């Protein structure tokens, strides 16, 4: 017993920041950003809080699933920075939804949605739950250095949610981690303790783009291949691929190395940029609302990110 996806939802902030507007803030251009990354715009929080976005995505997923807050047995929120250090973002969302179940966060950065699915699968396997709400949503505009063109052009805010119920949709899943604080990190910032001896680091996202790129390309191809093999399938059996949306060139490299037709890869990066943990969940919710999937479709998810983490899985779509 694993799970079925009963409903999906997404939430992105209203404000859209274009490449042209960014070009007035840092030395960059629509041409550079478009050709190097595939990003045309991103949604950035102005009025919305991360909690409001999480609740919006969750309510849409619950409404699509026909599941009420009282029916939820668990809420998992994959985010690398919630509204508070404590309580967890999942607990804040639980309160807003009026749910009464256990709730906790997972921090696996861009791989968070797949990490959360794996944790949820464990709860289903142990018979502990019947309905689980998974939310994967990040608000990276909060931690990006808006003066650093190497990073600020890449990220956007938002994410998605899925309500899971008992079922057999999950055909394979794998998560990995390779601890690394050199290529991608965001320090906490100031430590106010009068006793603490270490210097503070700037609380901004730092990324060695080319190094992460190399890790990403290898992880994406390896992750997709392993997920398919572990599901007992072949590449030609795959109907859709939902890759983490970090850079269109990473996705196109994966396309060139796999025997899966290019049009089966979902691409949302032009519209949203890299939304970290939110990206696979947004791509899933958009695909569902566009009616892309039919019953029996095999969908591969693959993500990589800070940690360094990776996650990949195959889900068989079992809704009409």
Distance of CA 307 to the CA centre of its chain: 14
Among 209, 226, 230, 257, which residue sits at the site for ligand UT7 (rule: CB under 6 A)?
A: 209
Parallel/antiparallel/unpaired status of strands 184-185 and 74-78: unpaired
- Which of these segments, 45-53, 148-156, 254-262, 294-302, binds ligand UT7 (CB under 6 A)? 148-156
Nearer to ligand UT7, 64 or 310 (CB): 310
Nearer to ligand UT7, 233 or 270 (CB): 270
Parallel/antiparallel/unpaired status of strands 157-167 and 2-11: antiparallel
Distance of CA 92 to the CA centre of its chain: 19
Active site residue 274: yes
- Which of these segments, 49-57, 206-214, 226-234, 252-260, binds ligand UT7 (CB under 6 A)? 206-214
- Which of these segments, 94-102, 169-177, 212-220, 309-317, binds ligand UT7 (CB under 6 A)? 212-220
* 213 interacts with ligand UT7 by CB under 6 A: yes
* 247 interacts with ligand UT7 by CB under 6 A: yes
Site string for ligand UT7, 252-291 (x = CB under 6 A): ----------------------x-----------------
Buried b (16+ CB within 10 A) or exposed e, 195-214: eeeeeeeeebbbbebeebbe
Measured from each CB, the residue nearest to ligand UT7 is: 209
Q: Which residues contact 223 (CB under 8 A, 6 or more apart)?
A: 174, 302, 303, 304, 310, 311, 312
Structure tokens at 242: 């939902």
Site string for ligand UT7, 96-115 (x = CB under 6 A): --------------x-----
Using alpha carbons, select from 127, 159, 133 the residue that is nearest to residue 57: 159
Q: Which residues contact 45 (CB under 8 A, 6 or more apart)?
A: 13, 15, 53, 139, 141, 142, 157
Active site residue 191: no
Q: Which residues are catalytic?
A: 110, 244, 274
């Amino acid at each position: 017993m694993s799970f079925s996806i009963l409903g999906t939802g997404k939430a992105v902030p209203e404000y859209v920041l274009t490449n042209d507007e960014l070009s007035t803030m840092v030395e960059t251009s629509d041409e550079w950003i478009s050709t190097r990354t595939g990003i045309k715009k991103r949604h950035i929080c102005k009025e919305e809080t991360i909690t409001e976005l999480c609740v919006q995505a969750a309510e849409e997923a619950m409404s699509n699933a026909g599941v009420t807050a009282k029916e939820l047995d668990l809420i998992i929120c994959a985010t690398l920075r919630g509204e508070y250090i404590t309580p967890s973002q999942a607990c804040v969302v639980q309160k807003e939804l009026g749910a009464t179940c256990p709730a906790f966060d997972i921090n696996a950065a861009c791989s968070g949605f797949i990490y959360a699915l794996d944790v949820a699968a464990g709860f289903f396997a142990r018979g502990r739950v019947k309905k689980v709400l998974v939310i994967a949503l990040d608000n990276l505009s909060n931690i990006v250095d808006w003066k650093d063109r190497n990073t600020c052009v890449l990220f956007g805010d938002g994410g998605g949610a899925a309500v899971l119920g008992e079922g057999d949709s999950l055909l394979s899943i794998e998560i990995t981690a390779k601890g690394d604080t050199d290529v991608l990190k965001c320090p906490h910032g100031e430590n106010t303790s009068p006793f603490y001896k270490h210097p503070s680091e700037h609380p901004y996202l730092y990324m060695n783009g080319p190094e992460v790129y190399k890790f990403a390309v290898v992880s994406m191809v390896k992750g997709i291949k392993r997920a398919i093999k572990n599901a007992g399938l072949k590449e030609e059996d795959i109907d859709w691929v939902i890759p983490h949306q970090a850079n269109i060139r990473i996705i196109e490299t994966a396309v060139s190395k796999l025997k899966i037709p290019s049009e089966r890869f979902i691409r949302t990066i032009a519209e949203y940029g890299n939304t970290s943990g939110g990206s696979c969940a947004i791509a899933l919710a958009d695909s569902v609302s566009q009616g892309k999937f039919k019953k029996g479709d095999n969908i591969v998810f693959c993500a990589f990110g800070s940690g360094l983490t990776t996650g990949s899985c195959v889900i068989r779509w079992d809704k009409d």
